[in-house]
Chains A and B, each alone.
Chain A
C-alpha cells in the first residue's frame, strides 16, 4: 500500500514536469519554429514605439537570446525556487512559484492568478455539491423505477441537460431570474469572508445551478447505468437473500459499488473545473481563473496563458492522484493485493 502511494505521488510529479516541458515548448519553441526571433518575443514587453536597439536589449535582458534549454531551465527554476528579474534599471525578485511577468501589465502572473482561485473554487465546489446530490439521487431513483413514467421524464430532462450548452442555459436563467424578475444579481461575486456568507451564496446561486445542471444531468445518467448494472450483480441477490431491507440492499450493497467509477469521473471533473469554468465565468462575469484565461488569450499575453495552463494541469493531476488514493480506500482489492 505504501509503495503504491509513493509510486502514485512520484508519477504525479513526473507528469507535472512533463506538462511544464510541453507547455513551455508550445509557447516558446513553436513560435521559434514558426520563424519568430527572440526580438519578436521581446517586442511584446516594450512599447510600440521602441526602437530596434531597445528591443534587442530587452531580449538579451529577459534571456530570450539564450539557448532554449537554458530558458527552460530558468523557467523551471523560477517555478521551484523563484527567480531574479533584470529590469534594466534594477533587479526584482519573483518568488516561487514564478510564472513570469505579464506582457501587458508588467505585473507578476502568480499573485494575480492566486487571487482568482477562491472565486473558481467557490463556483466549482458549490456546483459540485449540488450536482452530486441531485445527479446521483436522480440516477438512483431512475434506476430503481426503471421504465416508469418518472424514470422516463427524469431521463428526458437529463438528456436536455447534457445537450444544452452552458451559455444557453446560463443566459436563459440570467434573463429570467436576473433581468426580468430581479431576484439575483447580474454578475460578480462577494468574497466569502467576514461579511455575511449568505451574500456569497446568493451571488453564486445562479451560476451554481446552471453549471450543476449540466453535470447533474450527466451524473444522473451515469449513476442510473451503474446502478442498473450493480443491482443485477450476484452480491446484490445475496444481500436480498439475507433478508436485508430493500433500503440497505440499495444503499449499502448496490450504490457502494456503483459509485466507485463515478468517484473517478467526479475527481477529474472537479480538477478540470478548478482550472477554470470558462463558459460559466464568462457568462456570469465571475472573476475566476476561466475568465482570466479568456482575457489572457485575447491579449495574447503568453506568460498569463502559460500560468493558467500550468495551474489547470496541476489541479487535474492532483485530482487524479486523490482519486487513485481514494480508490484504494474504497476498494480493498486495490489496497490488499
Chain B
C-alpha cells in the first residue's frame, strides 16, 4: 500500500489488455428498458478468469450478480436486455456471436447451477432423463450410452445407488440430492466454465458444506473455471481464489480472496464484514450495520452509488457525490472504486474498522 501513485494509474489497463484469459469480460453492461425507466442491472464490469481458478462474486440481492451470469450464458431473452461490452470465452466474443453459436456452447463449454434445485428441474421428467437430454444435445450417442453416462455422473456427485436413483423424479430427492443431480447435469458434458449462482442458499449448513466440498473436488478433477455467485461471504471464502464485490450493478472491489478478507479497502466491503456476526471471532456486543437500503437501479445515486450509505463520503470534498469513482489498482492488483485517499483509507481501516471485526 506504499506504492507510488503514478504506477497505480496504468495497472488496470495492463490487466485488461491481457486478452489471453480463458474468460475475459470487458466493460459488460446489461440494461433493461422498463416502463419506469432503464434498469441498469449491470453497469460496466470487467474480470478475467483462468481454467482451474475460481472467481467469487458477492453482493446483496439486486446488485446484478445473476444478471451478469445469465449474460455470460446468453440466457437473457432476445429483445429484453440491452447488452454491451465484450465477453470472450476462449477468445470467442459471446456478445457478438449469433444465438445459435452461443447455444452450441451452452451446456458443452459453459454450464450453470441454479439456486433452487427443485424449481430448476422439470417436475415431469426423471432425473436421468434430464441428464441424458443434456448429454445428448452435444454428444451423438444412443440413449443407452447416455443413460450409462448419467448413472456415472450421479455416482460421481455422490448419489447412493445411482443405477436406481437415475429413474427417480426430482420431487423424490432431498434438497441436497437435487443439487447434486443439478451438478451432475451441469458437468455431464465436461464444461470448461461452470457458473454456480447461489448454489447452496436453499440448503442446510451441513448439506451446504457437502456441496461446497463437492464443487471444490470436481473443479480440481475437471480443471474447469468456476464462478461462484453468492451473498454469503463465508461461502466465497471457502471456494474463491479471486473475489469481486458488487454494489448497484458495478464492481466496487476486486482482488484475491486473501486481500478481500484480510485487507479490504472499500467502505462497502467493510460494511459487509462489519454487519455479519462471526462465529470464528470473539462475540461483539453490537453488529455494525450499513445504514439505509440499497438503491433502486433505475435511480442510482449520482457520483459513488454507495455515497448515501457511506460513513466516509464527507472526506472527499464532494467528489463522492458528483464523480463516479473508477475501479483502480491500489497496489498488487487490488482494485478499488473509491475516492478515499490512500492515507484516509489506511487510517479508517486501522482505527475504525479492523479493531471491530
Chain A positions near chain B (C-beta within 8 angstroms): 233-235, 237-246, 253, 256-257, 330-333, 336
Q: Chain B residues near A336 (CB, 8 Å)? A: 169, 172
Interface contact B107-A235, CB-CB below 8 Å: no
Interface contact A241-B107, CB-CB below 8 Å: yes
A281 to B46, CA, bound (A): 68
B185 to chain A, nearest CB (A): 7
Q: Chain B residues near A240 (CB, 8 Å)? A: 75, 103, 106
A237 to B134, CA, bound (A): 13
Interface contact A238-B169, CB-CB below 8 Å: no
Closest B residue to A335 using CB positions: B169
Check if B105 is an interface residue, CB within 8 A of chain A. yes
Interface contact B134-A235, CB-CB below 8 Å: no
A244 to B99, CA, bound (A): 12
Residues of B in contact with A, size category? 20 to 34
Chain B positions near chain A (C-beta within 8 angstroms): 73, 75, 103-108, 111-112, 114, 116, 119-124, 126, 133-134, 137-138, 169, 171-172, 182, 185-186
Interface contact A243-B104, CB-CB below 8 Å: yes
Closest A residue to B126 using CB positions: A332
Interface contact B133-A241, CB-CB below 8 Å: no
B86 to chain A, nearest CB (A): 21
Given contacts A238-B114, A336-B169, A336-B172, contact A243 B121 (CB under 8 A): no
Q: Chain A residues near B119 (CB, 8 Å)? A: 233-235
B83 to chain A, nearest CB (A): 16
Interface contact A333-B137, CB-CB below 8 Å: no
Given contacts A242-B137, A243-B105, A336-B169, contact A234 B114 (CB under 8 A): yes
B113 to chain A, nearest CB (A): 9
Interface contact B133-A235, CB-CB below 8 Å: no
Q: Chain B residues near A245 (CB, 8 Å)? A: 103, 137
Selected contact of A242 from candidates B126, B133, B171, CB within 8 Å: B133
Closest B residue to A236 using CB positions: B122
Given contacts A238-B114, A242-B185, contact A332 B171 (CB under 8 A): yes
A203 to B75, CA, bound (A): 50
Interface contact A244-B137, CB-CB below 8 Å: yes
Selected contact of A238 from candidates B103, B121, B126, CB within 8 Å: B121
Q: Chain B residues near A330 (CB, 8 Å)? A: 124
19 further A-B pairs in the complex, CB-CB below 8 A; given A233-B119, A257-B124: A234-B114, A235-B120, A235-B123, A237-B120, A238-B182, A239-B122, A241-B75, A241-B106, A241-B107, A241-B186, A243-B104, A243-B105, A245-B103, A246-B103, A256-B122, A257-B122, A332-B171, A333-B169, A336-B169
Interface of B is mostly: mixed
Q: Inter-chain contact count A-B, CB under 8 Å?
A: 72
List 11 contacting pairs A-B, 8 Å CB cutoff, sorted by A: A234-B119, A235-B121, A241-B75, A241-B186, A242-B111, A243-B105, A245-B137, A332-B123, A332-B169, A333-B169, A336-B172
A55 to chain B, nearest CB (A): 64
Selected contact of A241 from candidates B104, B111, B169, CB within 8 Å: B111
A233 to B119, CA, bound (A): 7
A75 to chain B, nearest CB (A): 45
Closest A residue to B119 using CB positions: A234
Identify the interface centre among B108, B116, B133: most chain A CB within 10 Å of its CB: B133
A240 to B111, CA, bound (A): 10
Given contacts A235-B120, A237-B120, A333-B169, contact A242 B114 (CB under 8 A): no
A226 to B185, CA, bound (A): 27
Q: Chain B residues near A237 (CB, 8 Å)? A: 75, 114, 120
Interface contact B171-A243, CB-CB below 8 Å: no
A251 to chain B, nearest CB (A): 13
Interface contact B172-A243, CB-CB below 8 Å: no
Q: Chain A residues near B138 (CB, 8 Å)? A: 243
Interface contact B73-A241, CB-CB below 8 Å: yes
Q: Chain A residues near B105 (CB, 8 Å)? A: 243
B48 to chain A, nearest CB (A): 23
Selected contact of A243 from candidates B123, B137, B169, CB within 8 Å: B137
Interface contact B112-A241, CB-CB below 8 Å: yes
Q: Chain B residues near A257 (CB, 8 Å)? A: 122-124
A332 to chain B, nearest CB (A): 5
Closest A residue to B131 using CB positions: A242
Closest B residue to A241 using CB positions: B112
A196 to B279, CA, bound (A): 84
Identify the interface centre among A241, A256, A333: most chain B CB within 10 Å of its CB: A241
Q: Chain B residues near A234 (CB, 8 Å)? A: 114, 116, 119-120
Selected contact of B124 from candidates A239, A242, A246, A331, CB within 8 Å: A331
Selected contact of B107 from candidates A242, A246, A332, A333, CB within 8 Å: A242
